[in-house]
Amino acid sequence: MDEVYYQIKSECKLPVTRLTYTYKDFEGVLHPGENIFVDLKEDEINIKMMEDVKSKYGDFFMFFNNSDEGKLFWKNNPITITTKQ
């Protein structure tokens, strides 16, 4: 988790950020909009929060959307919103 955190931190231009993450539910439905807020001056606390999130969802946790893995996934699997006609 350290590597993911420091990669995200290196790309952030502000001292605080919102880390969004994606997990699947029991039916395989993706939930991409959950988030945690972090103060980038508190590295150890933030990494612990990220590990807690991953632990909470276990095998259902997929990735933090801000990570390289998340960016690649959403680039290859964009969400399309269509209006009802």
**Domain range spanning residue 36?**
2-76
Would you say residue 14 lies in a domain?
A: yes
pLDDT greater than 90 at residue 49: yes
* Whether pLDDT at 82 is above 80: no
Is residue 57 domain-resident?
yes
Q: What is the structure's pLDDT at 10?
A: 95
pTM: 0.86
State the total domains in the chain: 1
Asked if the structure places residue 21 within a domain, the reply is yes
Hey, what are 37's tokens? 């807020």
